[in-house]
Amino acid sequence: MTAQYQVQDGVAVITLDNPPVNGLGHSTRLGIVEGMTRALDDAAVKAIVITGAGKAFSGGADIREFNTPKAMQEPTLHSVIRVLEGSSKPVVAAVHSVAMGGGLELALGCNYRVASKGAQIALPEVKLGLLPGAGGTQRLPRVIGLEAAANMIVSGTPVLSEKFAGTKLFDEIVDGDVLPAAVKFAQNVGAATGPHPKVRDLKVRHENPEGYLGFARNTVAAMAKNFPAPLKCLEAVAGSLKPFEQGLKEEREGFLFLVTTPESRALRHAFFGERAASKIPDVPEGTATRKIEKVAVIGAGTMGGGISMNFLNAGIPVTILETKQEALDRGVGIIRKNYENSAKKGKLTQEKVEQRMGLLSTTLSYDEIKDADLVIEAVFEEMGVKEIVFKKLDEVMKQGAILASNTSTLDVNKIASFTKRPQDVVGMHFFSPANVMKLLEVVRGEKTGKDVLATVMQLGKKIKKTAVVSGVCDGFIGNRMIEQYSRQAGYLLDEGALPEQVDKAIEKFGFAMGPFRMGDLAGNDIGWAIRKRRAVDKPDIQYSKTADLLCEMGRYGQKTGAGWYDYKAGDRKPYPNQQVNDMIVQHSKDLGITRRKISDEEIVERLVFALVNEGAKILEEGIASKASDIDMVYLTGYGFPLFRGGPMLYADQVGLYNVALAMKRYAKGYHGEAWQVAPLLQKLADEGKGFNG
Ligand code: 3HC
Ligand code: NAI
């Protein structure tokens, strides 16, 4: 049983004890009911306190039980709360640290609530695509009012306990340790004659509920476009104006509806995926890590500057090394400008700007970085330059320093071989802009030490990145997959589509940006350079020639004011260009292709399934250790729509049988060779399984 029971001076204390955050799993729920039974049977007990051990009152339903029969096994949270509300002795919640989701609902089922200051109070279910399913939508409005409750439940945002002073949510808010205060409170109410208050008996009052709800519905509908949960949350809260049992019934129906939606599945997948990404199968938890107190960055270009900012933001000093003073001055100038811009927008105080800049130093000499615990190389993407840098690092860096490369395409094993300490070498592939993008691909070389991996994953969390481990291959997880997507985008142009149609179709599917707008943003010349290299290294890989023709027209993208689209100064809006479209049509003619009308559905399938097929290969080769890692890469680094949960979960939701069938159809079409179904995908489809089980 994961709840403890003790009696102190006539007060029974039930302590939830289910680390890490006292999730209300089955054994904890059982423990509460059993504690209640003991307390009610014991004539010496006059009142009951419920609290949580360790670092939370309760983080809510035990998310480890989601999608298992235990989640619904009696006593459910509803049943537990019924026991609390039916108690003949007063029940006091002693809330501290965190009371979220079901944890807050449990507290609302008590007669009284005492909280310590600074506790985070939330009903965050909406973030998992759900609504609070154990009476939260009915009880919270009764204690803090309709509007405040709607705001909290629709947004899921935590609010500090002291902000509720003066509401009926808390009877007392105390500084310091809550338990003694709650026990004292319980002794007092235990001595008083009942009946003791129940939240369910309160009435929700509002001057103009219909007016408010009409406004709120419009606002929420506009904000929550692709997610059904926020509106359902609001409807459930609106139900609190009805008789309690009626509102509770509607809440239940809303919850049962949402739990089966693909959007909720996607959000829960992302929630677990984020946490699962930090767990590496053969690197046990508790693996010793190295201390990272000083960081050095080689190269003050686009990436070096952004990478440095991550560490400065986390309070870790950084020294940037360059070959020329001008490059250092330029790089540092850009970092300062970025911070000043944040300060102008009110996101950072001037004091913080100076604090962060104060942690930054620059040098032209390796001598000044030799003591760094971690060095990240972000120089030109050329093996020759990497070789010079890593040989030098091997020579000068202290023993035990981690040597990382930010390479986006080069072989990390080869880079490691330039040193006599390959176990200390790892890829840290940041995404541009590196101070903004959440994703960090941690590239595990053949010889990378487990402690190095564990250290870098831990550091990723510290600098607020979603760190995902990738094995070594061309493009790692993200870029290797995007290449297949880009190839399909090019072929679609050859066959009959125009950039605007392709972009609009995939943006309607939910991508932040279509492939051609993305190309214009990143610079079409980057892909051009890669294709030129591929033409030598891997001449078998085919591409549509349209992207090369575009670059030959000097249309590199936004940086030249013209790419697949035209751009006006100071405006990122794309305007279709007739010359580009004519070039595409002419190219089809040159290939002897009769252009056809391509449906938006085909565009989406070909782009997304191209990702899925390559993802399956990556999984099969062990480059990614689980499908959710691939999804996390796409959700945090490539603008894949969150409500679809990433390419691999999306494929599961479509059904792998259907995905494989579509691929075989495309295999008969233009450049059908790109549609060899990955063996793992076919196997799972045959077995009626998905990538995520
Ligand atoms: N159940 C079980 N484990 C949980 C949990 C929960 N509800 N919430 C978090 N954890 C686990 C995490 O998975 C993590 O485990 P790990 O160390 O093995 O990876 C550990 O607790 C620590 O989590 P964080 O790294 O997120 O730690 P923080 O201290 O930063 O945050 C927190 C703690 C604020 C509780 C945060 O984890 C959080 O927001 N959790 C989600 C809470 C939530 O969504 N609750 C609602 C659940 S749905 C519900 O209650 C339905 C009900 O209405 C019927
Ligand atoms: P960049 O050209 O903006 O910057 C490179 C910097 O390295 C320049 O300032 C240059 O002076 C410096 N440099 C070159 N040789 C050096 C040496 N021997 N010692 C010290 N400094 C040296 O390049 P960018 O875009 O920052 O890319 C750097 C690395 O990051 C490359 O490996 C690239 O593939 C990778 N990358 C780039 C991304 C992007 O979107 N730009 C995304 C992810 C990774």
Q: Cβ < 6 Å from ligand 2: which residues?
A: 298-304, 321-323, 327, 378-381, 385, 388-389, 406-408, 430-432
In the prediction, which pLDDT does 7 show? Answer: 97
pTM: 0.92
How would you write 333-392 as a 3-class SS string? HHHHHHHHHHHHCCCCCHHHHHHHHHCEEEECCHHHCCCCCEEEECCCCCHHHHHHHHHH
Please provide the size of the chain in residues.
693
Angle between helices 679-686 and 656-666 (to 10 degrees): 130
pLDDT tens digits for range 564-603: 999 998 888 999 999 999 999 999 999 999 999 999 999 9
Domains in the chain, CATH or no CATH each: 3-259 (3.90.226.10), 295-470 (3.40.50.720), 482-686 (1.10.1040.50)
End-to-end CA distance of the chain: 30
pLDDT tens digits, one per residue of 387-419: 999 999 999 999 999 999 999 989 999 999 999
Residue 687 appears among annotated catalytic residues: no
What H or E segment, with its residue span, contains residue 112?
strand 112-116
Any catalytic annotation for residue 322?
Answer: no
Q: Is the pLDDT reported for residue 298 higher than 90? A: yes
CA 21, 25, 29, 32 torsion-angle sign: negative
Label residue 693 by pLDDT band (50, 70, 90): confident
Which pLDDT value is given to residue 63? Answer: 84
Average pLDDT on 101-105 reads: 98
Question: Which residue among 125, 251, 263, 322 is the active-site one?
Answer: 125
Segment 241-263 shows an average pLDDT of 96
Nearest Cα neighbor of 356 from 372, 381, 332, 378 is 332
Pocket of ligand 1 (CB under 6 A): 20-21, 23, 59-64, 77, 98, 100-102, 105, 124-125, 128, 132-134, 136, 275
Residue nearest (by alpha carbon) to ligand 1 atom 10: 21
CA distance 120 to 99: 6
Query: Residue 361: which region, alpha, beta or left (left: phi > 0; alpha: psi -120 to 50)?
Result: beta
Closest CA to 485 of 231, 674, 318: 674
Ligand 2: residue whose CA is nearest its atom 12 = 299
Over residues 3-62, the pLDDT tens digits come to 999 999 999 999 999 999 999 999 999 999 999 999 999 999 999 999 999 999 999 999
Distance from C-alpha of 592 to C-alpha of 594, rounded to nearest angstrom = 7
Percent of the residues in the chain that have a pLDDT greater than 90, as a whole number: 94
pLDDT score of 667 more than 90: yes
Q: Does residue 67 carry a pLDDT above 80? A: no
Indicate the pLDDT class of residue 535, thresholds 50, 70 and 90.
Answer: confident
Neighbours of 342 (CB within 10 A): 16
Question: From CA 410, how far away is CA 377, in angstroms rounded?
Answer: 13
34, 65, 105, 687: which one is catalytic? 105
pLDDT at 630 over 90: yes
Q: Which of 613, 599, 611, 598 is nearest to 675 (CA)?
A: 613
What is the pLDDT, as a whole number, of residue 658? 98
Average pLDDT over residues 229-249: 98
pLDDT score recorded for residue 263: 97
What is the chain's mean pLDDT, rounded? Answer: 96
Flag whether pLDDT at 163 surpasses 80.
yes
Candidates 625, 598, 289; CA nearest to 452 is 289
Nearest atom in ligand 2 to the alpha carbon of residue 386 is: 18
